[in-house]
Structure formats: structure tokens, C-alpha cells
Structure 1
Amino acid sequence: MNFDGKPIGQASAPPATNKTSTESGDKGTPVGAPTYVQERCADRGDYAAYSKFQDNLYRLRIRGDYAADNKGPINGFYNTTEGEDPDKVYGLFLCRGDVAANLCRSCIHEAFNILIERCPGQKEAIIWYDECLVRYSNRSFFSIMETKPIIFIANPLDGSVTVNKIVEQTFNNEDFVAKVTDLARNVTDLVISSKRLYTTKNVYVSSLVTLHELAQCTPDISKSACKSCLLSAIKEFPTVLNLKRGGARILQPSCNVQYQMNFDGEPTGQAPAPSTTKKTNTESGSEEKENSQEVQLLHLRQEIGEEFSKERSQGEKPVASQELSLIRLDIIRAATQNFSNECKLGEGGFGPVYKGTLADGKEIAVKRLSRSSGQGLIEFKNEVILIARLQHRNLVRLLGCCLEEHEKLLIYEYMPNKSLDVFLFDSTMGQSLDWKMRMNITFGIARGLLYLHEDSRLRIIHRDLKASNILLDGEMNPKISDFGMARIFGGNQDEASTNRVVGTYGYMAPEYAMEGLFSIKSDVFSFGVLLLEMISGRKNNGFHLREHGESLLTFAWKLWYKGRGLELTDPSIKESCDGVQVIKCIHIGLLCVQEDPADRPTMSLVVHMLGADTIPLTRPSLPAFSVGRDVRTLNPISLIHKTSTINEVTLSDVSPR
């Protein structure tokens, strides 16, 4: 079976709002808001801001809206191009066959906007909603049957004793798989005989159970290609079918197929979002049921829904989440050779991290919560909930999670070049990081942090930015990782306080370490430390041991103040660096680590300063505080002077106040 590197997942959470529409042209029929499912950004190059390609892409979006308004030439389907080579954009818009025109219109409009937001600068991308599909590329894909990427999504049953008994009495597992697969093949024949390449079919299995299936192809491909596409999807059904699943769908660019089990009710045209009702131990019959993977994942989804409600109450437009992807434990065990020592990449405060290889060759990194870990389900949930709602080229990508048999696992994309500290603080490996590469990494980190603070609309404070939490992909592009300590700020919130100071020695801002106050300026401080480490190749953590009690920050300031800033430069890059740029970057780093948070620049200004040579810089004040200078000043805070670096994720020491 071919996962194409994509984990099996649950259906997406329902939208935070479910307003009905009675727009003209649809006979006043109330229609719910479109429901996001999943998107994929293809690696086919980037386009620059304000470029001709971006211009053509936005023109294509307008044409898509117009086509949706006019229902397109073929019942909710429209494909077109905008511009000329090499900036030509190809676009395809398709609504589900039973979707009313007004919902089709709003789905295409929302899907295109979300796709551009989720895949910034990407020249090819695709997004699925329950009600529509939107796709664009810099290559012609019209009339070409394509089956990758392939997305698996499974909806659990509601978990009640009654429903489980109905399923057990109606099917054994082999019969169930055969029944659904046979029905899907029958539906395929119906699809290719229809004019719209779309159909649904119901099979009444018993007086209590109905199987409902739906299949659709994009009308630009031939009927024979449509059949091949659907059959390629159907052969994957055994991957997502078992007695725990109440519905499943398989999504491909040229076709999709889905089934849904219905109990004592009429079948619907789409797989509903799973229930978020918490089952009690009395109802489920045992503590194991209450702690089952499905129930815990539903609780996570419920928490996302609660966050959406908070955004809505603050008048903000809700942000659709990515899939809370579910990967079975047996798949993870096989990928990691049952968590063997040979696959172990390292260990942090959270627990060990393992390299894994899926059946299709996709490499993953598995972060496994240790039962003795000081960090627990709170950090686990926090990381899942936050990353499920974020996507940026400079943030690590969470592929899925697993809560099964008391295991708590996070599955990430594998970073072959490990973390930044592996290179930066090693005298030999540091030589491979020349000045240009260091600046590219620095700029990527700054863009990722800017996205967290401003562009994601969630205003996220990372609280643990450091070199070991910057992962490097095969092309040395930086990815910010480890969101277990991160916090979301409300729309008008600028600062918060905590009695539980978390972070890493050497990177914490003074107001946070001493008073528990944190804000976006706390992250700016950490970035400033990291920037000075990038220039010098030396850690702020422990620097005082070699420099007679002086921190890297005060040492850098004194050199800069005396006009000797170039002496801070890592000897391994002196030949490749630009002296003017080095002095400018030291200046920016010192602005970021000033004692007063109000004096520190925002990340938007930092990005601007890094990218321009003509911006006048204010004079930085002497860093008046450093965690590394005198640990005694932090009492009664107890700091553990230890960090652990692992390939995929590094965990910080928690410092209780």
C-alpha cells in the first residue's frame, strides 16, 4: 500500500461557525458553511511577492469566483488559465455534485484564500473541502489523471456501547471490508456512466445500518481514466477500514471516494465530523475505553473547537485547522523496528526520539513521551493543537500523532541535517556553515517567528526559541520546532504572566526569568541571543565560564561599542563573511536583547532590518541582565543547566518558580 508519505487521519473539525445562507438563486434553501478537509503544497518552486506569477494567481482567483457565480460550464466544474509562460497559472475548481450553487460559490472563494495562505509562495497547491476542490499550478495538468498526493481520512464511530454492539452484530471485520469494497466498485461503474462523473449509493445492510458511498472524478479526465483513478483509491480501502471506523474517504487530485455508516437515520452526502461528546466510564464500561485513542483525539479536537470559539468571541475570523492525523501504533512500531536502539536519534526532557521508515520509504521522526517525563499530556496536547493550526515553510511539520496502548507519540517530518546546534557549536561541522548559509538560516528563523507573532492571526509566543529547536532539512532550510511550551495570545493581549517559568538557560528574557512575564518581546530576546550565537559560533549558555563571568551578550556589546565588532566573528567564517553585514547583524542582535522589552524591535522590524541596508538603526543599550552571568540572581527560581539535543525535537528544562 502507498501512503505517499501521508498518514491516515481523522476528518477535520467542523467549522467554528455554521451560518446558513439563503442567497438568491437557490430557492432560499439554508446551506451550511463549507467544511475544510486538507491541503497539500507541492514543491515546484516559489514565486516572489509582487511578481507576475502572483499577479496571475490573484487574477485566477477572481475568475474562479466568477465561474462559481455562474456555476461554470459543467455543473460546478471550471478550469482555466491566466497569463503567459513562464508565469502562466493553471487553475481547476470543482464542487461536489450535490452542492447548491451558493455553497459552491462560498466554498471556492474560501478554499482559494486558505490555499494561498497555507501555501505562501508555492507555485503548485491543492485543497479539499467537503463541498469543493481547488487546485492551481505553474504546469498544465488538465485532462491528466493524477493519483498523488493521496490522502486517507477516517471518521471514528461515536464510541457508544449501543453502536459498537450494532456493528459487531452486523459484521465481522472481513465481511465489513468486503462489503464496503464491493459497494465502492459498484459505485465506480455508476460514476463513469454518469454525465457529471459523480454519484452516490446507499445499501441498507440491516434495519439499523446503512452504508452510504460517494465517488467523483474531475470532469476533465476521460471515463476510462476516471475508472482507473477510483480503482486505485479503492484498493487502499483495507488501510482505513476496521470495526472502529464509522466513515472514511480517500482523496486524490483527479478523484475521491468515501463511505459512511449510518445508524437509525437517513444517509447524508458527506461524512459528518466525529462527535466530541465525552463518554463516561459507566457508559463505556471501562477505564480503557475512556482513555482510548479515539476518545482522547476527540478531546483534542474539542479543545481546538473551544479555541475557535474564543477567536469568534473576539470578533476574529476563525482559522481552519489541519487534520489531526492519526497513525496506528502498529505502523509506528514497524517503522521504528519496535522502537529499537538502532533507530534512536536521541533523548530530551519529553522522552526519546526515533527515526522511522514507513512502508513506502517515507522517513519520519517519532517523539515518544516517556512515562517518567516531567512533561506530560498538557505539553503533548499543546503541541498537537498548535501545530495542527499552523503551516509555514519555516515551521516543522507535524505529520500525525498516536494515542494507543498508553503510548503518546508525535510523528514529524524527518530532518536529515538534525538541528542547528549540531553544526553551529562544533568547530569542525561549523565550517560547513559559511556566512551566506548562516544568514539564510537566520532570515528563515526570523520569517517563521514573524508568522507566529503576526501573520498566523493566532499570535503565538514560542517561549523556547534556541539553536537546538531549529531543525534543518536536506537543503539546510531552518524549521522552528517544539511547540510544547508555546502559548496563544488573544487579539488585544500584549503580555501574560505565569508561575511556571519554562525555557532554556541562556535564552530567557530577564522579565520572564525573574517575574514570569512573557510576550512577543520575550521571543525577540531569544532570537537576539541566537543571532549573536550565529555570528560568533559560541553558546551564550556557559560562555561566562570561559570569559571570566561575562555573558556573550555583554561581550558582544563591549566589542561593538569599541568598534571592534568583527572580533566576535566565528574564525571559521571570517573568509566568507561581509564585514559590513556582520556589524549590522551584531547591532540588530544587541537591539533584540535589551533589558526593557519596549526597547526591543518587533519581528516584522527585525525582518525588515535584516533584508535592507539603508535602514538607520537606533543605539542599543548595554544588556543589563543575562541568565548566564549570575545564576544566583534567579533565586528562588531553580535552573537546571542541561539541554539535550536530538534529531527531530529538543525538549527544554522546565524551571518551576
Structure 2
Amino acid sequence: MGKKRTVFFACLLLFTMLLSFTNAGITTESPLSVGQTLSSSNGDYELGFFSPNNSQHQYVGIWFKGIIPQVVVWVANREKPITDSTATLAINNNGSLKLFNGKHGVVWSTGEAFESSGYEAELRDNGNLVVIDNVSGRTVWESFAHLGDTMLPFSALMYNPASGEKRVLTSWKSSSNPSPGEFVGQITPQVPSQLLITRGLTPYYRTGPWAKTRFTGIPLMDDTYTSPFSLHQDANGSGSFTYVDRNFKLSRIVLTSEGSMKRFRHNGTDWELSYKAPANSCDIYGVCGPFGLCVVSVPLKCQCFKGFVPHSIEEWERGNWTGGCVRRTELHCQGSFTGKDVNIFHPVANIKLPDFYEYASSVDSEECYQSCLHNCSCLAFAYIHGIGCLMWNQDLMDAVKFSAGGEILSIRLARSELDVSKSKKTIVASVLSLSLFVILASAAFGFWRYRVKKHNAHISKHAWRNDLTLQDVSGLEFFDINTIQNATNNFGLSNKLGQGGFGSVYKGNMQDGKQIAVKRLCSSSGQGKDEFMNEIVLISKLQHRNLVRVLGCCIDGEEKLLIYEFMLNKSLDTFVFDKRKKLELDWPKRFDIIQGIARGLLYLHRDSRLKVIHRDLKVSNILLDEGMNPKISDFGLARMYQGTQYQDKTRRVVGTLGYMSPEYAWTGVFSEKSDIYSFGVLLLEIISGEKISLFSYGEEGKTLLAYAWESWCKSKGVDLLDQDIANSCHPSEVGRCVQIGLLCVQHQPSDRPNTLELLSMLTSTSVLRPPKQPTFVVHSRDDESLSKDLITVNDMTQSVILGR
């Protein structure tokens, strides 16, 4: 009897293990049930039933095995979720893979092949689910032929006009709803092809034509780029675009529910975003209308091609550029004949080529020019290595001007347009000639003053350099003042990017084409020699993708300049607090930025060789690069600490009012938790789109912290989100971020998370402790009793607050 009981429990255990773990494959005798999974032999992928965000709806999908949070790469029953716990995925003798919703019938199937003695479904090592005929070994169906929102390595987008087959990416409706969304990614049948994202039937983004190894409309794909893509178009009119990434074991390209095409690679611990499109406002299709040229800048700038003027000056001035531009002088096409109206071609460099191009031939550039010249309907041409000759017979739509990269587009104009340009040059030359005498007359006096100033500056400059030992600033370049003046147009207003607490920031263009940002410290600012040297020494030793990189400095007399890498999208506050531009930062982008700032802060506090407290973390000190990646800047107030010394005290409290923690503002004590408090304020500003210094809510004039607390108590923080981007949010994610923000602004430093805990909170789904009501929000601004209950800055005698 004992032996029988032992055998019974052993069988029961074996049966439970078979249910709990994985099947080798799906056969007619062995379907897949809820709770079971099918794994690839290499253990990278897994097939089974899943519920997005723990909803009641269940789907059959494929995901990366063992990676948390779960990343689903393919879904079978996208439009028909199941709710029955007895659902199964089975295969019949006709080779049809079917999903049964318990007793409610079939909700999804692959379609039948033909009757055979046996079929089997297996999950390949590349994530491709295939149905195989056991007799012939032939694959009769595969998931790679029915893509969802994700491309895996070795999968392909394709079109075949003869068979009508087409493989495209279709976005999810939302992060919790895998139903087909409004965005579709595909390759176009034109020659050469391009990648196109449409929103419904409307073009939303395109890459520009393919040139052997690259898309011409993506500047990052230059001659040094190693492409993981291949695109093939054959003589029969079919084409395929394949993705192969041999450098990373796990990678994917996903079309998000917001219309972004993102490429992710897994580095062993986390997903890295290596590419994203659209990357900026100019990437949105046709933003400047026909014959309009979108200049990549912040804010974006639309201009007309040479020889064209706005279709409607009134709309153009309002910022509505979709009407585009019209030709100023009508063409009188005369082929190659001579005459005053004969056409010319004006070349424009660094261009993302317009849409509606036609492939002419693989002739050389001269023949391309001649072909367009003799074709009166040809409005523009471009000769591209890797493609050949392209021509445009329709309006030039969706053209973009890059700062570097791109192609040369030659536009057909009436010769009179060139004559107009020559007339302008003649007038300018005359004015310059009249001014020459005045300039020469004052030159002698100016030269004398210059020699005196240069002598004094030379002494001052070397005194500063001697203070910066080679050990402190190894690898830092010292720039000459003349070089910086030339690069910034002598600090001209047109080059000014913004005004900070310690001076102005200017854009500079070096002679080698490199763009820089120059921080010019004004002599009247609070940042003197100590802060300047502090920023140089600190930032030259800090290297992280979420910290701005300093290139060098310049010291000349009273001039103290810091030269940084140029950030195309300026600072975060120019987006978050701008009524129009904030729409470019939907919730997923804001959440990415929040996480990036936290990673930069973790590096400063824990991972860098120098342990650094920033002391002035705020929205305007977060810069954004071309890919909207955040970079912490402005280290003039930062302080280093060594070993386990996490706390220090200063007699000079400096920083920005509203961002300073209570213990720092009142007693001068700063620590890692001081930066955490500033991060909490910054986080709530990013979520709400409101400035801490200007926000006032209701008759009581509640502060932003008070309103955030009230929102968390009422709706778990969801209604704190800027309502203009509410449609793009994940409510649970927003609420979690509000809770994290409130935890960061707790009155007691011990109640705030440290930086390591902060990043863990942002990247995991662990349960968070509830926050306490922040001290600063107990009373309204107008409450006269505030000074009785809380220490105020007016009571302090040992410190001085320098607000910025």
C-alpha cells in the first residue's frame, strides 16, 4: 500500500511539473493550455498565455524568456482576447494552428494547409513560431510572415504585387491593448524603396530613399555606420527589408502606440535604446508643406526654398506652415537654349530628399543634370552614390535641412532668380565700400587699445591656468578667445541660446564644422574664480551618457568661458513649460527623460570616481540632445565628498528657491538626500508641466507640492499629469511617478529614498511605501501662521541664501 501511494505521488508530481514548465512542441496529441509555455531550444524566447498589465483579457504571445518586465514581441489573437481559463492552442491534421476559447469555439487560427499524417508547431531560436509538416519537413506557416508591432533579427518587411502579399508592422492600440493601433510601418514599392510610417492613411514619418546600406534621410547612417539592415528589390517588382543584428544576442525594433519606431538592444542587464524615429519635429511628415524646408532646430524653423515665398504670409507668421511655399518667378522652360529666362539649377546641401521621387537611371551626375534640364516637367534632381539619378516632377514635399549629412538637391529656378541675388550682392558691396574709409580711419586707434588689452589679458590668463594643474584638468582644451568670438559671431544675439543664473549661453560653429555651446560667465554673477574652477575640474572628470560633456575653457581677462558639447534641443524647460512644444514630449518620452536623469544622478552619487552632490538640480539644468536624451549640466555649485561621508555643511547656501531641501535651506546641511529632494520637485514639474515657482491652485493658492499631495490622495496622482498629453499616458505609471516624487520631497531626509533606491523604484514594479504629507504643503502661501510652525529663512544667521 505504501509503495502504491509513493508511485501515485511521484506521478502527480511529474504531471504538475509538466504543466508548470514547458512543452517540447505543440502536436495534435499535445496542445498548449493556460499556464503552460513553449520555449525555444536556446532559452531566449517563450510562447504562452499572458495578460497585459494583469487585465482580465488573455492572449497567446511570444516574449523574451526570463527578462523582467515582460516584453511581448508577437501576439496571435490581437483582436479577440480570451477569458476562459480552459483555453487551449492546438493543431489539427490539416496543419491549422487554432486557439480555442474553452467551450466558446475558435477565436484565432492560421488557416489550413492540407491533410497530412502529422503536424507540429515549434518555437525557433530566432523567436519565429513555425508549423511543420512532419512528413516533408516543410514549413507551412510562420509567425514571421504575420508580424505584429515588432521586428526581430532575421524577420522582414516585404511586398509582392504579384501575389498581393505584404508584411508590415502595426502598432498596439496602447501598452495594455495589443489590438491593431493607428500606426503602420512598411517599405514602399517605389524604386528605391523607403521606410514609411502612416497614421491611418496619412503619412507620418519616412526615412528617405535607400542607398545600398543606408537610408538617405537618416544622418546617423553615414559612411562610418555599420548597417544591420538590408533591402532588396528585384526586377519582378517585389521587395524585402531585413533586420539582422549580429552584435547583440537580443534586440528588437518596435513600432510604438505613439508612432515611434524604436530599436532596442539588451546589454545583459537592461534594454538600451539605440535609435528612435521620429527624433524631432522636422521628422513629422510635411510639417512645412510643399516647397517648404524644415530646419532642424529648437524650436523648429520652416523656410522656403530659394526662389519660393510663403503661400500665405499671414498663416506663415502664425506658425501654420502646412500651406507651404509657391514659386516667386514662373518657369519658362527652354531646355538648353540660351536667353534671359533660361532655367538654372540651384544646389542645396544637407537635405533629406523630398518625397515623390522617380528613379531615372544609374548614369553619372552630369547626365543626371542634362536629363532634368531637357525635361520641362523635372523640378529638381539629385545624384546619390549608391542609387544614381533621382528626379522630382511633383511638389517638393517633406524636405528637411540637416546641420550635417544628407544629400545635395538641385532645384530648377528661373534665371532671373539668380540675377536678383546678384543685385543684392552689388548693393551690399557698395555699402561696404562706403564704410571702408571709416573703418580704416579708426583702425590705428583701435589697434593701440587692442595691444594694451592683450598684454593685460595675457598676464591674467596665465595666472588662471597656473591654478588649474595638469592633474586637475587632464585632457581639457584651452581655447583662444578669438576662436570663440569667431565661432559665436562675437557673442551675437542670433547665437544666444539662453540666460542662466551665472551668465549667458551661446551657440558656436567651429571652423571644422563642429557645433559647441559656450557658457559666458558675467563678471557681476555670483560665480567667481572658485565656482568656475570647481566646474572645470569636476565636469572634466565626470563621463556619463546622462551628463553634459565639457570640451574646454577659455580665460581672457574678465572673460571666463566654458565650452560644452552642443545640445540640439536646448534645455528641458523649453519643452515642459511651453504651450506648443510640450506636445512633443508625450508621456513615454517624459518617462524616458525621468529615468535618464535618475541614472545620471546615480552616477554622480555612487558610480563616479568623484562622489558629487550637484546642489542645483532643476529642469533648466537638464539639457536634451538630438535624440531627446537628458543630460545633467551646470556643476558650478556641485560639491565632492569622499568615502562614506554623505553629509556636509556650508555657511553659504546657494541654489534655486523651490528646489532646495528644508535642511539645506535652513541649516546649510547638504547630502545625497538634498539632490533627491530637488529631483522630486523636478519630477513633479515634468509630470504636471507646471513651474514650482509660479504654480498657484485654488483660492488658497496651493503650491505644486500641495496640489501633488491632494492629487495623490484623491486619484493616486493620475490627474496631476499635464492634460494635453493625457491620451499618451499609462495611468499606473503616472501614479507611481507621482508617489515617487512625493517620497523624494519628504521633510525628513531619512524618509527619502537614496539614489539607488530611486532608480529601482522607477524601473521596477515593486510595491512602494506610502508618502507622508510634505511639510511645505501643510500651510498655504498666505497662511500667517507659517512662521510660527516652521523655521523660515528669515530666522537664519549662519547662512546666506543665494537664489537663482
Q: Given the two structures, how large is their TM-score scaled by the length of structure 1?
A: 0.50
Q: How many aligned residue pairs are there? A: 354
What's the counterpart of residue 86 of structure 1? Answer: 246
* Range with bigger deviation, 356-365 or 338-347: 338-347
For 2:477, what is the secondary structure of its paired residue? coil
What's the counterpart of residue 619 of structure 2? Answer: 467
- The change in CA–CA distance for 1:519 and 1:297 in structure 2 (over 3 A counts) is same
For 1:550, what is the secondary structure of its paired residue? coil
2:587 paired with 1:419: no
What's the counterpart of residue 142 of structure 1? Answer: none
Q: Which runs of 5+ in 2 are unaligned?
A: 1-66, 69-243, 250-266, 275-453
- The change in CA–CA distance for 1:547 and 1:588 in structure 2 (over 3 A counts) is farther
2-structure distance, mates of 1:293, 1:446: 37
1-structure distance, mates of 2:699, 2:596: 30
What's the counterpart of residue 485 of structure 1? Answer: 637
Residue 121 of structure 1 deviates from its aligned partner by 8.2
Following superposition of structure 1 onto structure 2, how do residues 94-173 of structure 1 map, counting pairs within 5 Å? none
Residue of 437, 440, 464 corresponding to 1:296: 464
Residue of 764, 771, 783 corresponding to 1:612: 764
Q: Which runs of 5+ in 1 are unaligned?
A: 1-47, 50-83, 90-115, 124-285, 306-320, 639-652
What's the counterpart of residue 625 of structure 1? Answer: 776
Residue 371 of structure 1 deviates from its aligned partner by 1.8
1-structure distance, mates of 2:780, 2:534: 28
**What is the one-letter code of the residue matched to 2:590?**
R
2-structure distance, mates of 1:432, 1:468: 17
2:799 paired with 1:654: no
What's the counterpart of residue 451 of structure 1? Answer: 603
For 1:388, what is the secondary structure of its paired residue? helix
1:41-69 deviation per Cα after TM superposition (whole angstroms, max 9, x unaligned): xxxxxxx99xxxxxxxxxxxxxxxxxxxx
- The change in CA–CA distance for 1:121 and 1:557 in structure 2 (over 3 A counts) is closer
1:67-126 deviation per Cα after TM superposition (whole angstroms, max 9, x unaligned): xxxxxxxxxxxxxxxxx982389xxxxxxxxxxxxxxxxxxxxxxxxxx9xxx9899xxx
Residue 404 of structure 1 deviates from its aligned partner by 2.1
2:656 paired with 1:496: no
Could you tell me whether the CA contact under 8 Å between 2:700 and 2:780 is conserved in 1? no
Structure in which a larger fraction of residues adopt strand = 2
2-structure distance, mates of 1:542, 1:291: 46
**What is the one-letter code of the residue matched to 2:690?**
R
What's the counterpart of residue 134 of structure 2? Answer: none
For 1:544, what is the secondary structure of its paired residue? coil
Answer with 1 or 2: which has the greater Rg: 2
1:334-378 deviation per Cα after TM superposition (whole angstroms, max 9, x unaligned): 101122222222322312221110001111111112122222111
1:462-501 deviation per Cα after TM superposition (whole angstroms, max 9, x unaligned): 0000000001111111110100000001112121111111
2:530 paired with 1:361: no
1:273-294 deviation per Cα after TM superposition (whole angstroms, max 9, x unaligned): xxxxxxxxxxxxx995884434
For 2:544, what is the secondary structure of its paired residue? coil
1:203-248 deviation per Cα after TM superposition (whole angstroms, max 9, x unaligned): xxxxxxxxxxxxxxxxxxxxxxxxxxxxxxxxxxxxxxxxxxxxxx
2:750 paired with 1:591: no
- The change in CA–CA distance for 1:569 and 1:289 in structure 2 (over 3 A counts) is closer
**What is the one-letter code of the residue matched to 2:490?**
N
- The change in CA–CA distance for 1:121 and 1:588 in structure 2 (over 3 A counts) is closer
Percent identity for Structure 1 against Structure 2: 51
**What is the one-letter code of the residue matched to 1:612?**
S
2-structure distance, mates of 1:463, 1:628: 26
Could you tell me whether the CA contact under 8 Å between 1:542 and 1:628 is conserved in 2? no
Residue of 709, 722, 729 corresponding to 1:577: 729
* Range with bigger deviation, 452-461 or 348-357: 348-357
- The change in CA–CA distance for 1:555 and 1:85 in structure 2 (over 3 A counts) is closer
Could you tell me whether the CA contact under 8 Å between 2:458 and 2:556 is conserved in 1? no
2:793 paired with 1:634: yes
1:555-591 deviation per Cα after TM superposition (whole angstroms, max 9, x unaligned): 2112212335222111011100001111111111111
Residue of 593, 601, 624 corresponding to 1:441: 593
Residue 407 of structure 1 deviates from its aligned partner by 1.7
2-structure distance, mates of 1:576, 1:547: 31
Following superposition of structure 1 onto structure 2, how do residues 559-570 of structure 1 map, counting pairs within 5 Å? 559-570=711-722
Could you tell me whether the CA contact under 8 Å between 1:502 and 1:654 is conserved in 2? yes
What's the counterpart of residue 542 of structure 1? Answer: 694
1:270-327 deviation per Cα after TM superposition (whole angstroms, max 9, x unaligned): xxxxxxxxxxxxxxxx99588443442231226x55xxxxxxxxxxxxxxx6512111
**What is the one-letter code of the residue matched to 2:802?**
V
2:624 paired with 1:476: no
2:567 paired with 1:408: no
- The change in CA–CA distance for 1:547 and 1:400 in structure 2 (over 3 A counts) is farther
Residue 528 of structure 1 deviates from its aligned partner by 0.7
Ranked by relative contact order (alpha carbons within 8 Å, sequence separation 6 or more), the top structure is: 1
1-structure distance, mates of 2:711, 2:457: 62
2-structure distance, mates of 1:457, 1:295: 28
2-structure distance, mates of 1:547, 1:637: 30
- The change in CA–CA distance for 1:357 and 1:517 in structure 2 (over 3 A counts) is same
Residue 405 of structure 1 deviates from its aligned partner by 3.6
- The change in CA–CA distance for 1:635 and 1:291 in structure 2 (over 3 A counts) is farther
Residue of 492, 495, 515 corresponding to 1:340: 492
2-structure distance, mates of 1:451, 1:611: 16
2-structure distance, mates of 1:477, 1:655: 28
- The change in CA–CA distance for 1:496 and 1:546 in structure 2 (over 3 A counts) is farther
Residue 546 of structure 1 deviates from its aligned partner by 5.9
For 2:552, what is the secondary structure of its paired residue? strand
2-structure distance, mates of 1:432, 1:293: 44
Structure in which a larger fraction of residues adopt helix = 1
- The change in CA–CA distance for 1:531 and 1:628 in structure 2 (over 3 A counts) is farther
Following superposition of structure 1 onto structure 2, how do residues 127-526 of structure 1 map, counting pairs within 5 Å? 288=456, 291-301=459-469, 305=472, 322-526=474-678
